[in-house]
Structure 1
Amino acid sequence: MKTLQQAINKLIKDLGIENRVLENQVLNEWSLVVGKRIAEISTANKIENKVLIVKVLNSSWRNELLFHKRNIIDKLNKKIGKRMVEDIKFY
């Protein structure tokens, strides 16, 4: 007998929306991955072609986040369990 989670996962896969669900999970995990302070000054808006689009409070924070971009990408992908983000564009 399948668990409810297994049934949901199968339905998501059968509907062909697995990537969309994972992309939404990335957006929802943003604040947990970057921490409270960064979450206060930034918002993960969407993913386009494996590029995460993030709005940042100002250019100073944008420059700071650019410095940490690779680490953030690695943490997000590890949290999701699949390589959903290959780059981040901060604006």
Structure 2
Amino acid sequence: MAKRNNEHISISDALKEFVETNRLEKGLDKINVEDAWGKLMGNGVNNYTTAVKLEGETLYIQLSSSVLREELTYGKQKIIDMLNEELGKQIIKKLVLR
């Protein structure tokens, strides 16, 4: 553990430093992507979403409706752009709907 110094830092800076030091950013990104999907897609799509999984720069979405999957396929790039904007950084490069 690092030595304690007498400087005052904000809690957000301390948390960012903790996340970077312990390399927790990828795990937090996975959780944030799931939350962003739920928030942006709404209840209609969430009812048919069975799994959201981020592996590297690819987001895998498992859907229980083939009709919905086909509809979402037409707007993949828009969905990627919306999710990255919500997350505040370019995490997702590819979207796979299953």
TM-score, scaled to structure 2: 0.83
Equivalents in 2 of 1:35, 1:23: separation in Å? 19
The structural deviation recorded for 1:44 is 4.3
Q: Over residues 56-84 of structure 1, what are the superposed CA-to-partner deviations in whole Å (9 max), with x where a residue is unaligned?
A: 12211110111121111101101111111
Q: Over residues 9-41 of structure 1, what are the superposed CA-to-partner deviations in whole Å (9 max), with x where a residue is unaligned?
A: 110011112122122111121111112211221
Asked if 2 retains the 8 angstrom alpha-carbon contact of 1:23 and 1:84, the reply is no
The answer for the alignment partner of 1:22 in structure 2 is 29
The answer for the alignment partner of 1:11 in structure 2 is 18
The structural deviation recorded for 1:46 is 1.1
Change (3 A) 1:57 1:38: same
Q: Secondary structure at the match of 2:82?
A: helix
- What amino acid sits opposite 1:11 in the alignment? F
1:69 pairs, out of 70, 73, 76, with 76
1:50 equivalenced with 2:57 (yes/no): yes
Report the structure, 1 or 2, having the larger helix content: 1
Change (3 A) 1:44 1:30: farther
Aligned residues: 91
TM-score, scaled to structure 1: 0.89
Change (3 A) 1:86 1:43: farther
- What amino acid sits opposite 2:81 in the alignment? D
Equivalents in 2 of 1:43, 1:25: separation in Å? 17
The structural deviation recorded for 1:43 is 4.0
Equivalents in 1 of 2:15, 2:51: separation in Å? 26
